Structures are given as C-alpha cells and as structure tokens.
Amino acid sequence: MADHSTRQFISFTVGDEEYGVDIMAIREIKGWTPTTPLPETPAHMRGVIDLRGAIVPIIDLRVRFHHGLTEVTPTHVIIVVAIGDVMVGLLADAVVDIVTVAATEIQPMPDSEHGGGANYLSGIVSVEGRMVVLLDLTALLERDRDVLAEVVAVE
C-alpha cells in the first residue's frame, strides 16, 4: 500500500532518452497500430486510431521532442493516457519498467537540458543508474489543445 510519499511511473524510451509518465494517467499500452492521418495537423500528430469506438489521436514523441519522425516498426508501442477528459496515444520506442520513487527523489529539470522541451518536463529521477525524465502530460498537450479538441470533439 503506497502512501503519498511515493510516486509510480511507467518508463519508456524515445531514442536514447528514457521518459516516465504517472502510472495513474495510463489507460492502456498497446502495440503499434497504423494511424489514419488527418489533414492540417502539426507534424507530431501522427493521426488517429479507433480504440474500441473511441477516436484517439497519436502523438509522435520523437517529433514532439525535435528528433525527427519515428520510423515505426512492429516493436513500437502506443501508451494511451488520459488527461482530463481527453485520451491521447503517445508513440514510444519501447516500455522499459514500472518505476516507484519517493517524491523527495524527484529533482527539478536542469535549465540547459532538453532545450525547448523543458516546459513540459516535470522533473528527473535516477533509477538504478539511469536517468528518467518525467513528463508533465498537461503541459505537453496544452499547445495541442485546439487541435485535440477538433479531433476528438471535446471542449
């Protein structure tokens, strides 16, 4: 039984970096499914998939973090997360682990790291010698709120 002093994240890779998202935001992890592209959306929006009747936009995190388009293979995964009433799929290279850390172990992001992406990185934690960068999903998707609202028809 975890108390409020510990946090759990699912960690995953995008290129050489390892990222984490709060386990409570995750609805599903599934293998890569080809998306239906949408016109006039930002480059990091790969399109949408139908997840049991729900239209879920897929965000290519490699593009979002300015590392170019993901060359998708069958080993890639879609991490379906819920942010408020919106479900979004995050395209990642692979899921690594479930990480449990004390809240006090989460360090703030250094200013110089990750260039323009730092506004949607909530912290960094060392896990068994690996650095896991924690994503702030609300901040990550804030810039796409208008596009997401059109795609999934929510307010």
State the burial class of residue 39 (Cβ atoms within 10 Å of its Cβ: 0-12, 13-18, 19+). Answer: exposed
Pairwise CA distance, residues 126 & 106, whole Å: 8
Tell me how far apart the alpha carbons of residues 130 and 136 are, in angstroms, rounded to a whole number: 19
Per-residue pLDDT, 73: 93
Mean pLDDT over the full length of the chain: 88
Whether residue 6 contacts residue 100, with contact meaning beta carbons closer than 8 Å, is answered with: yes
Tell me the per-residue pLDDT of 39-80, one tens digit each, with 9 for 90 and over: 888 999 999 999 999 999 999 999 988 889 999 999 999 999
**Nearest-angstrom CA–CA distance, 57 and 52:** 14
H/E segment holding residue 136? none
Task: Return phi, psi of residue 142, to 5°.
Answer: -60, -45
> In the prediction, which pLDDT does 118 show?
66
| Interatomic CA distance for residues 29 and 81, integer angstroms | 9
User: Over the range 4-22, which residues count as b (16 or more CB within 10 Å of their CB) and which as e?
Assistant: eeebebbbbebeebbbbbb
**Residue 65 · residue 119 · CB < 8 Å:** no
**Average confidence (pLDDT) over 121-143:** 91
pTM: 0.89
Q: By C-alpha distance, which of 87, 22, 32 is closest to 60? A: 32
